Amino acid sequence: MKVSRWLLLAAAAPLALAGCNGFGEAMTNHTDVVARAAGHELKVEEAAGLLAGSPEIPADPEVVRMLSDLWLDYTLLATAAAEDPTLAVINMEQFTQEAREQALVWKLRQQVVQPDTSFTEEQLRQRWATDGPGAEIRARHILLRIPADASPAQRDSLRQVAESLRQRAVAGEDFAGLARQYSQDPGSAQRGGDLDYFGRGRMVAPFEEAAFRLQPGEVSAVVESPFGYHVIRLEDRRQPDFGPQREEFRQHLVQRAEQDAETAYLDSLTAAANVTIQPGGLPVVREIAQQPDVPLRGRAANREIATYLGGRFTTGTFAGFIRTQPPHVQSAFATATDEQLEGVVTQLARKEILIREAANRGISLTPEEDTQIRNEAREAISGVLQASGLMQGTAGQQARGSSAVAAQVRDLIDGAIRGERQIVPLGPLGFALREAYPGSQINENAFSQVIARMEQIRAAQPAQDPAAPQQGMPPQGMPQQGMPQQGMPQPQAPAPPQQSNP
């Protein structure tokens, strides 16, 4: 099935989280236990020993959390495989729900998004001249810098000056002379604002977008960038010959047209549904993300985070989403901005709207499609078992019992830490296993003990030669090929500013 960005869209009072201290209270007599899973225990000494051997691994609670999550999930996976290699313990209906929903959204997309993707030869050549790879332009600009502490009135005044300079340039006054007199860009002012030839990715986004839209001889509207207000004049444009890249470029334009049509439809659907974040909703999202394994009960599971026409996005729905995300995604919610969180919640609500729209249009999966999704999920699980080496030891584990499971998981994680083996964060599969084996939990109260013991072990070890080969870093995971994904973007940090100062 084609992967599309489309598939990725697919309360003021403090949130009462039930059972916050349940595991800690249950472990009062086992303070040296970091995690439990299916009758197995990860002790402080074992966790510290696994991590302390690699000196480049920091003694940090997040590292201990990563180790604990991997140990818990793979212990459950090894246990399930030892009991039944088909992993019948997993609720396949629940496990494949996300994949089935994505398939429904894809079928909706095929029905409602039908952009015009035919391009004449002339249109192709025109787009190649402006958007083709390797395109370069030569431009001049006048920059008026905005002081960091500028008041709104000062900003307005500077913008009016920039607008007056633009009008003078449009009226025919020499642009180079205006740039030498008024531009505050020390790198180009004395050259009449000349920036020479540059390609895409060299300038900050607002400047680049405006400059590449111009034709030679045209003067832009006033453009605001992190550097200030710009007036831009395009001097020249050059582009390699069309040549053998014609078909590849045409396919690129087709994909762009499809993406633009998708965006337009999704935006219109979201606008019509009037997705609204509720007061206090974003702090609730952060709180749940920080304690994803804590169960929500009663009213706490039904608080509204966002509403939309005919529906609502609740704390229970968000908790179900965040539990299936890898630890680094969960941690990102703690430092994400309100704008980033609002974007994620809006996309999650949008996915519900899309599924409802598919149902309203009578779109459903055929029995054959449903069977294919389930078969692909089973194949993906089998692939994880084989890649981890757990499949090979299944028969022996059945005979030797839990000690074989513990040894195999330890060897797997130890090899990953040393950089000798690859280990895949299980994501939705791990969540399904935790549902199948209730009572599997992580004791955060023991993290500090692991860190203290790591430092003791390292202090007792001889100093390592800096020139000696380094051991592997803590396992960061690898793409889960074929695994049913949650399909939602994690909160992203703002993109760093580009280096070039136009």
pLDDT band at 126 (very low <50, low <70, confident <90, very high): confident
In the chain, the largest separation of any two C-alpha atoms, in whole Å, equals: 90
In the prediction, which pLDDT does 465 show? 53
Least confident of 63-72, 428-437, 459-468: 459-468
Across 202-222, average pLDDT: 94
CB atoms within 10 A of CB 335: 10
Q: What is the pLDDT of residues 158-181, one digit of tens each?
A: 999 999 999 999 999 999 999 999
In the prediction, which pLDDT does 490 show? 30
Q: Provide the 3-class DSSP secondary structure of residue 76.
A: helix
3-state helix, strand, coil in the chain (%, to 5): 55, 10, 35
Residue intervals of the chain classified under CATH 3.10.50.40 are 136-238
In the prediction, which pLDDT does 20 show? 34
Residue (of 275, 269, 280, 283) closest to 311 by Cα position: 275
CB atoms within 10 A of CB 413: 24
Better-predicted residue by pLDDT, 164 or 294: 164
Q: What is the CATH number of domain 136-238?
A: 3.10.50.40
Give yes or no for residue 391 having a pLDDT over 80: no
DSSP 8-state secondary structure symbol assigned to residue 468:
S
Q: Edge-to-edge strands of the sheet including 136-145?
A: 194-199, 136-145, 228-238, 223-225
Q: CA-CA distances (angstroms) from residue 402 to 45, 305, 426, 428?
A: 19, 43, 21, 24
DSSP 8-state secondary structure symbol assigned to residue 286:
H
pLDDT band at 140 (very low <50, low <70, confident <90, very high): very high
Residue (of 102, 138, 167, 29) closest to 428 by Cα position: 102
What is the dihedral sign for C-alpha 82, 86, 92, 95?
Answer: positive
Q: What is the pLDDT of residues 393-424, one digit of tens each?
A: 544 444 446 688 889 999 999 998 888 888 87
CA atoms within 13 A on the CB side of 275: 23
Cα–Cα distance, 445 to 25 (Å, whole number): 10
Collect all residues with Cβ–Cβ distance below 8 Å to 372 and sequence separation of at least 6. none
Alpha helix segments (H runs only) across 20-120? 22-26, 44-52, 61-83, 92-95, 97-112
- DSSP-assigned states of every residue in 383-420: HHHHHHTTTTTHHHHHHHTHHHHHHHHHHHHHHHHTTS
